[in-house]
């Protein structure tokens, strides 16, 4: 116990010297247009986790469908060229963007109804022709 000192008073903190951040919980992930992935925390801090890489093929039509909107490299597609978003021929990343369909559903529904009516009319014509043929054969 040599070298220790005791003062005759209550304990109190006299000086605070903080050299870090308070604990924080992960609140979400964000990806910017350059493909950099950031982790956001409850203490207001952000940390870079990595970067998304994009691949380009000479012949995208030659990719092999793997199912569930996944595609794989094939001999026809050629080797992939990998790079960063927004460089060279690579596009940019639109984080949290919703891709809309380019199909007008009301127009497609009208086309379906018209096709169904045409099918019914053709079926009725064939039925009527069969009845007329049957009647002629019975005479």
80 & 121 share domain: no
Question: Number of folded domains in the chain?
Answer: 2
pLDDT value of residue 13: 67
Mean pLDDT score, 61-69: 88
Q: What is the pTM of this model?
A: 0.50
Tokens of 65: 């469908």
Mind listing the pLDDT tens digit for each residue in 94-110? 887 777 767 788 888 99
47 & 88 share domain: yes
135 & 91 share domain: no
Q: Which residues contact 137 (CB under 8 A, 6 or more apart)?
A: none
Mind listing the pLDDT tens digit for each residue in 46-55? 899 999 999 9
110 & 92 share domain: no
Give residue 133's domain range.
103-139
Residue 10 in domain: no
92 & 30 share domain: yes
Nearest to 47 by CA among 29, 67, 61, 74: 29
């Amino acid at each position: 116990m040599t070298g220790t000192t005791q003062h005759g008073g209550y304990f109190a903190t006299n000086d605070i010297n903080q050299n870090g951040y308070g604990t924080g919980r992960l609140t979400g992930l964000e990806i910017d247009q350059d493909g950099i992935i950031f982790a956001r925390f409850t203490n207001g801090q952000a940390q870079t986790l990595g970067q998304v890489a994009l691949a380009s093929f000479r012949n995208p039509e030659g990719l092999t469908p793997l199912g569930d909107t996944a595609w794989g490299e094939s001999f026809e597609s050629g080797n992939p060229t990998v790079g960063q978003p927004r460089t060279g021929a690579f596009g940019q990343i639109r984080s949290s963007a919703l891709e809309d369909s380019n199909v007008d559903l009301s127009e497609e529904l009208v086309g379906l109804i018209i096709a169904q009516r045409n099918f019914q009319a053709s079926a009725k014509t064939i039925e009527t022709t069969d009845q007329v043929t049957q009647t002629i054969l019975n005479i």
